[in-house]
Amino acid sequence: MINSLRIKMILAFASFLFIFSILFYSQKNVRELREEAKEVLLFYTELYARIASEDDFTDFAFLFDEILTRISFPIIVTGQNDDEISAWKNVPSLSDTVRLSEEIQHLLTEKVKEMDRFTEPVPLTYDTLVIGYIHYSDSATIRRLKWMPYIELGGAILLIFIGFMFFQYIRSSEKKFIWVGMAKETAHQLGTPISSLMGWLALARETFSPHHEIFNEMDVDIQRLENVSNRFSQIGSRGQVKDINLKDVFEHVRTYMERRIPQKNKLLELQFNVETKRRIKGNSDLLEWALENLIKNSVDAIGGQTGKISVDVKDMNGNKILIDIKDTGKGIPESQWKAIFKPGFSTKKRGWGLGLSLTKRILEEYHRGRIYVFESREGEGTTIRIELETVANSVAGSQSSSQ
């Protein structure tokens, strides 16, 4: 986890450095082009001032007809006051030949104010006297260049995002295929020895006492193995989804766990509080598997100490049902609340980190539910919450009691 986080931080830093370099380089070019535009404008005005200072010069329209027409960026020539408009050229959305009216003058005056916010006007002199100012702004090329890095970065980020989502989809699909393949292969591998054990058990019953307690227990365990094999075979299959009576599901889980928990911890108390008569759409075998995984994790969290596990099932408004599995175990640090559901994450020395990940997949992919750590305090315990959508207006017919 630390190496993965470090790699992500390095990649993020490199990305920000790359973006900053592009923006810095582009803005540097924009500043240089602005300086060049200003130097060109200063050159023309100095040239005009020098020519105009000669005694025999009388053609004052020379500035507008010959010099300013060669400029490709927007300019507005004013008198000593900004509202004294004399001429303009290359002003966006305004023709160079339109007649000056009150409306046009107001528009050009606003443009002058806008230009002066970004560039300093160039004084127009005649015989050492300032007779006006030339206000200018960026050319169309500079404006395009200024926005180009943002457009390029936006396009790059969009492509990266699409590629990332596509990669995540492929990765998720590959993981899903691996899960399904492993589950199917496990079911296939379990099938042969289970069938063999059933045959040997039948032969033993014919040879010895058919109702011996050992044979009954062996029969229960073989049925359990067969059920496990059946669960694995259903991973990746959608054909087994049907209406489920939740009270029956929790009764089966309670019966199984009450038989198995004393083998690990005789001091542990298991309590079920099922307050629902609703049904859900799903697969009862897989749902029981998910619930058993969560209870087993709670048993492991308590260890050999005295403790309690409670399973509370409550109806909520609408068609939602909440299942809280609460234990008095060692708790989970808040930084790991999401990580515990990721494949491979385990706090056990010999754990594979697949139980909670499988549980999450069963609840989200097969039952359109949600699972998360609702509350946890280190040294006090953890509450895992499951949210499921029930069948609309459903009421389970079973009236079986739960402890």
Stated as kind and residue range, the H or E segment containing 357 is: helix 355-361
Residue 344 has pLDDT above 80, yes or no: no
Global model pTM greater than 0.75: no
Rounded mean pLDDT, 10-18: 78
Beta bridge partners of 165: none
CA angle 385, 390, 394 (to 5 degrees): 140
Q: How confident is the model at residue 382 (pLDDT cuts 50, 70, 90)?
A: very high
Residue 397 has pLDDT above 50, yes or no: no
Q: In this structure, which amino acid lies at residue 336?
A: Q
Q: What is the pLDDT of residues 114-124, one digit of tens each?
A: 888 877 888 87
Tell me if residue 347 falls in helix, strand or coil.
coil
The topology (CATH level 3) of 2-138 is: Beta-Lactamase (3.30.450)
Q: Can you give the residue ranges of every domain in the chain?
A: 2-138, 143-215, 239-389
Separation CA 226–CA 229 (nearest Å): 5
Query: Does residue 224 or residue 326 have the better pLDDT?
Result: 326
Give start and end residues of each alpha helix (H) in 208-237. Answer: 213-234
Residue 69 has pLDDT above 70, yes or no: no
- Asked which of 85-94, 157-166, 168-177, 334-343 is least confident by mean pLDDT, the reply is 168-177
Separation CA 341–CA 373 (nearest Å): 10
Query: Does residue 281 or residue 195 have the better pLDDT?
Result: 281
Q: What homologous superfamily does CATH list for 239-389?
A: Histidine kinase-like ATPase, C-terminal domain (3.30.565.10)
Query: Does residue 103 or residue 395 have the better pLDDT?
Result: 103
Q: What is the pLDDT of residues 254-269, one digit of tens each?
A: 988 888 887 777 888 8
Tell me if residue 275 falls in helix, strand or coil.
strand
- Asked which of 104-108, 234-238, 292-296, 297-301 is least confident by mean pLDDT, the reply is 234-238
Helix axes 213-234, 284-302, angle to 10 degrees: 110
Q: What is the pLDDT of residues 283-327, one digit of tens each?
A: 888 888 899 889 988 998 888 888 899 999 988 887 889 999 999
Beta bridge partners of 282: 242
Cβ–Cβ under 8 Å, residues 288 and 227 = no
DSSP annotation of 391 reads: P
Pairing of strands 381-389, 320-327: antiparallel
| Structure confidence at residue 403 (pLDDT) | 38
Rounded mean pLDDT, 334-343: 85
Give start and end residues of each alpha helix (H) in 61-139. Answer: 62, 102-118
Q: Residue 374: which residues within 8 A CB-CB, separation 6 or more?
A: 324, 383, 384, 385
| Structure confidence at residue 400 (pLDDT) | 39
Q: Taking all residues of the chain, what is their mean pLDDT, rounded to a whole number?
A: 78
Buried b (16+ CB within 10 A) or exposed e, 122-145: bebbeeeeeebbbbbbbbeebeeb
Cβ–Cβ under 8 Å, residues 355 and 371 = no
Buried b (16+ CB within 10 A) or exposed e, 195-214: eebbeeeeeebeeeeeeeee
- Asked which of 38-52, 87-101, 213-227, 244-258 is least confident by mean pLDDT, the reply is 38-52
